[in-house]
Structure 1
């Protein structure tokens, strides 16, 4: 089975050459890291990332920071667990799937062994492609991973997890089983939480709210993150995925965190009256 792209031609170019050109522009333009990934790194320990998932012209430069950091930390065969919010309302509350994911740059293989263990052991998770079939939050991460493959930096298989249920207990449970299975299967694992931050707030409001969120993530305090998002009415779409990522990374021994980049859609459009916030964070 193949999961065909639904974001191509909207969130990113459908033409492969144009897509590679846009990804490289995300790295090299002023809001990006200013350089392309150039050589294979060395995988020494699990890596966690927060990475945005808007259209590439808006959030791509911030996302490029995550993937530039990832390129320095991976080699050979990597399992990438990608947690994304369910924007569509379709399918199960928490779900994974074991199909191939297709983008204009080719096919991305699932890590069947990891996926099979995950949905069978984690009671809150189902094997359900319906939740994934129209959802963009996982798909938009894949061309950046494929670009790293084209640069011979690493080979990736994915474990896609779509989260409509984002209460604290559910997210923490998902994180626990990701860490448990990664350890037991001895996988070289990267965990990406796909999330944007504040949505459609004035710049000054969004930046203040997003500072609260980023502080909690950098402190690796997933409980405080859940509380602050609720109590401050922060319209972060992927709070559950980020909680699950932090929980898993702490169980896998993570001690350090770093903010790589933050900007808003206003920094691209020049319109600061209603912006979406984007952040790139690495935890290891």
Structure 2
């Protein structure tokens, strides 16, 4: 059992308080019409900072059998691309992992290593959003310590082809914040350039932009893997649902973090 590592830090520990905070995030989202989302990008900061941005995606997600969660490895523990197959617990209950899909991925670049997930917040914070709106689903959490283009494409191809082989109805969710701790105007300018490449689902352009601008986006590898898998599953274009920064929440625009909600359909 993978138990919560950041409950009480990134989101409330008490189930009722967590449910209330999630409801507040969803109230701040748009119309919430369901979209045929095959892939998505969502942020992973504390809910007070980025919860309403993440909710823009989760309010529109269709019901799926499995949600594959791809996120960066902030702690450097475990294998370079690490899969978890344990049940995941949050204050809202327990979600099972898709063991059949996991088994099909073994032997690829992706291997099981629970240690990579022990303290990682980027995937954990996504699960309560799913639990609050959906039922009867499984997850497949994958932590990426390596984020180079070759690795990201290989991960995306493995996930997409395995899901297609199984006929698994799934959505691929990439967890990433954008620019970290730069002035608001600079962050928005830089983020708009990489988001343009993301919306085109152009993985090589994402990497060119990241390197050219020295971007501090923490999950460009998971984003690129999600794009690759989403294309295999039929997605053709990206749609920006919302972009904001931590400065928009707390009013300090000197050093902001950027957050984006993007759907691949």
Cα distance in 2 for partners of 1:215, 1:78 equals 30
Q: What's the counterpart of residue 45 of structure 2?
A: 54
In the alignment, structure 2 segments of 5+ residues that lack a partner are none
Cα distance in 2 for partners of 1:34, 1:118 equals 36
Q: What's the counterpart of residue 107 of structure 1?
A: 94
Q: Is the 8 A contact 1:46 1:252 kept in 2?
A: no
Equivalent position to 1:95, from 59, 73, 82: 82
Q: Does 1:145 align with 2:130?
A: yes
Q: What's the counterpart of residue 33 of structure 1?
A: 29
Q: How does 1:225-236 map to 2 (within 5 A)?
A: 225-236=206-217
What is the Cα deviation at residue 33 of structure 1?
1.4
Equivalent position to 1:174, from 147, 152, 155: 155
1:19 aligned counterpart, secondary structure = helix
Cα distance in 2 for partners of 1:249, 1:48 equals 5
Q: How does 1:183-202 map to 2 (within 5 A)?
A: 183-202=164-183
Q: How does 1:202-241 map to 2 (within 5 A)?
A: 202-241=183-222
Q: Does 1:21 align with 2:20?
A: yes
Q: What's the counterpart of residue 54 of structure 2?
A: 63
What is the Cα deviation at residue 178 of structure 1?
0.7
Are residues 183 and 46 of structure 1, via their aligned partners in 2, closer, same or farther at CA, if it must alter by over 3 Å? farther
1:27 aligned counterpart, secondary structure = helix
Q: Is the 8 A contact 1:66 1:282 kept in 2?
A: yes
Cα distance in 1 for partners of 2:113, 2:2 equals 12
Q: What's the counterpart of residue 233 of structure 2?
A: 252
What is the Cα deviation at residue 62 of structure 1?
0.1
Q: Is the 8 A contact 1:63 1:280 kept in 2?
A: yes
What is the Cα deviation at residue 242 of structure 1?
0.3
2:44 aligned counterpart, secondary structure = coil
Q: What's the counterpart of residue 155 of structure 1?
A: 136
Q: How well do the aligned residues superpose, as a CA RMSD in angstroms?
A: 1.4
Cα distance in 2 for partners of 1:166, 1:198 equals 16
Q: Is the 8 A contact 1:46 1:189 kept in 2?
A: no
In the alignment, structure 1 segments of 5+ residues that lack a partner are none
TM-score (norm 2): 0.97
Cα distance in 2 for partners of 1:125, 1:67 equals 26
What is the Cα deviation at residue 34 of structure 1?
4.9
Length, aligned pairs only: 265
Q: Does 1:84 align with 2:71?
A: yes
2:5 aligned counterpart, secondary structure = coil
Cα distance in 2 for partners of 1:247, 1:60 equals 26
Q: Is the 8 A contact 2:70 2:143 kept in 1?
A: yes
